[in-house]
């Protein structure tokens, strides 16, 4: 059915290999014109890292791991549009003599690669959020953010109307994905767009396929570029910063109804072909 979905649809001529995420525009809605701007410095909503006891233990029991990860992070942060998994694979091949194609047959190397992605994602998210969301901003998520974000840590946030209120009270929503995410399309991007709130996001090819980068998503490849794009967003007048175009794009193409229709269409053609 995945092949059927890909064969019968595309975004800008590129067939998807899986259905992208979507949003619920009935829950995530724009705020009223008089809504207070509680977070003029932007917001980030998400965990410091997805918990994984096995990977955390592997990291703790790998001599020299921290130094290797810091070296990888130095390379990655010079251009965040690089694919983290490829950087890790290249590192294993160049530094340890382990070809990336052999990882499925090498469980220890495979565990190291997954641990590296886990650790890199944690470092990346911490550094980007700390640099971009400063005074006047808000960080929502697990309590580990309290030590990192200090007095701008605002507690946890849960999906629903409360999340909509947070987004509508902010000048922009920061998007930084985990290293293990192989796609640049996360829930934050769709939900912020449904609220007509700008997104400041790491660059990825998928962003340009699904959104107009001129009216919805401001992408960056380095932390310095993120700070420059933040200035651009904050310099926009409110009627341009919260223009309806991003929400209209969600309503037209990216609701769960659209995704369900695509699945049902694929199921229909799958069984029709099997009966032919």
**pLDDT tens, residue by residue, 84-129:** 888 898 988 888 888 877 877 888 888 999 899 999 989 999 999 9
Q: Give 15's pLDDT tier (boundaries 50, 70, 90).
A: low
Q: Give 10's pLDDT tier (boundaries 50, 70, 90).
A: low
Q: Which two tokens stand for residue 156?
A: 């946890």
237 occurs within a structural domain: yes
Alpha-carbon 134 to chain mean position: 19
Q: Which two tokens stand for residue 165?
A: 């209120």
3-class SS of residue 146 = helix
Handedness of CA 269, 273, 274, 276 (dihedral sign): positive
155 occurs within a structural domain: yes
Q: In this structure, are residues 199 and 190 in contact, taking their beta carbons and an 8 Å threshold?
A: no
263 occurs within a structural domain: no
* Mean pLDDT along residues 30-48: 88
Q: What is the pLDDT of residue 1?
A: 46
18 occurs within a structural domain: no
75 occurs within a structural domain: yes
Residue 215 has pLDDT above 70, yes or no: no
Q: Between residues 244 and 41, which one has the greater pLDDT? A: 41
Q: Between residues 211 and 46, which one has the greater pLDDT? A: 46
233 occurs within a structural domain: yes
In 3D space, the residue among 56, 91, 62 whose CA is nearest the CA of residue 75 turns out to be 91
Q: List phi, psi (to 5°) of 220.
A: -145, 155
Model confidence pLDDT, tens digit, residues 140-191: 999 999 999 999 999 999 988 999 999 999 999 999 987 666 666 788 999 9
* Mean pLDDT along residues 228-240: 89
In 3D space, the residue among 117, 119, 144 whose CA is nearest the CA of residue 48 turns out to be 144
User: Average per-residue pLDDT in the chain?
Assistant: 85
111 occurs within a structural domain: yes
Residue 211 has pLDDT above 70, yes or no: yes
Alpha-carbon 77 to chain mean position: 16
- d(CA 83, CA 81) in angstroms, rounded, equals 6
Q: List phi, psi (to 5°) of 45.
A: -125, 115
Q: What is the pLDDT of residue 16?
A: 53
Residue 219 has pLDDT above 50, yes or no: yes
Q: What is the pLDDT of residue 267?
A: 80
Domain around 205: 23-254
270 occurs within a structural domain: no
Least confident of 16-30, 66-80, 161-175, 194-208: 16-30
* Mean pLDDT along residues 187-196: 92
CATH code, 245: 3.40.50.2000
Q: Which two tokens stand for residue 110?
A: 């495979």
| Number of domains composing the chain | 1
Q: What is the pTM of this model?
A: 0.86
């Amino acid at each position: 059915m995945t092949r059927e979905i890909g064969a019968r649809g595309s975004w800008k001529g590129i067939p998807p290999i899986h259905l992208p995420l979507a949003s619920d525009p009935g829950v995530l809605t724009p705020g009223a014109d008089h809504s207070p701007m509680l977070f003029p410095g932007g917001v980030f909503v998400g965990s410091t890292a997805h918990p994984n006891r096995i990977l955390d233990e592997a990291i703790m029991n790998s001599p020299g791991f921290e130094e290797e990860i810091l070296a990888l992070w130095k390379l990655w942060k010079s251009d965040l549009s690089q694919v983290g998994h490829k950087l890790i694979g290249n590192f294993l091949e160049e530094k340890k003599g382990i070809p990336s194609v052999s990882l499925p047959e090498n469980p220890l190397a495979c565990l190291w690669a997954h641990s590296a992605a886990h650790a890199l994602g944690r470092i990346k998210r911490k550094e980007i959020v700390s640099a971009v969301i400063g005074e006047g901003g808000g960080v929502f998520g697990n309590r580990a953010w309290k030590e990192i974000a200090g007095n701008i840590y605002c507690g946890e946030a849960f999906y629903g109307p409360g999340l909509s209120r947070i987004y509508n009270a902010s000048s922009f929503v920061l998007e930084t994905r985990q290293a293990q995410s192989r796609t640049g399309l996360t829930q934050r991007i769709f939900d912020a767009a449904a609220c007509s709130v700008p997104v400041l996001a790491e660059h990825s090819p998928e962003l340009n396929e699904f959104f107009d980068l001129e009216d919805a998503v401001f992408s960056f490849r380095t932390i310095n570029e993120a700070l420059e794009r933040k200035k651009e967003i904050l310099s926009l007048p409110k009627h341009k910063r919260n223009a309806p175009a991003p929400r209209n794009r969600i309503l037209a193409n990216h609701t769960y109804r659209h995704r369900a229709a695509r699945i049902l269409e694929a199921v229909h053609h799958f069984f029709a072909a099997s009966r032919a």
